[in-house]
Amino acid sequence: MAATRYRRFLKLCEEWPVEETKRQRDLGVFLRQRVAQAFREGENTPIADPEACDQMYESLVRIHTNYYKNKYPRLKDTNFTGVTVEDCKMILSTDILKQMEDMKKGTWRKLREKFYAKKPEEDSK
């Protein structure tokens, strides 16, 4: 039975999309890592709690198939701010978040990072 569960999780990982805009923060990548950890021995991995494993699989399938989005359709594809789904995806991309983080840095810190060869953390060592 562990082999069947393993194959189901592998199939789900194959179907789950990876968003390139969310490097190191993507749910698809995280899911693949967790499946690899949980099934280290592949089909021969013993499963301590089969019910919990099945429940987790079913929950992930509901997320992947947009079960609740389809069950409870929304009138508009915006949120309370009026921002569209495409705008939210763009705002949450890794590149935009990095740019925002750079904007938060003070002028002194930016200058210090620009002109010093070493990082400030290395100075304290």
pLDDT tens digits for 15-63? Answer: 988 877 777 778 888 999 999 998 988 888 888 888 999 999 999 999 9
- List Cβ neighbours of 29 (8 Å cut-off, separation of 6 or more): 18
Structural domain boundaries in the chain:
1-73, 76-117
User: What's the pTM value of the predicted model, to 2 decimals?
Assistant: 0.63
Phi, psi of 83 (to 5 degrees): -80, 135
**Residue 94 and residue 97: Cα distance in Å, rounded?**
5
**Residue 111 and residue 113: Cα distance in Å, rounded?**
5
Phi, psi of 78 (to 5 degrees): -130, 170
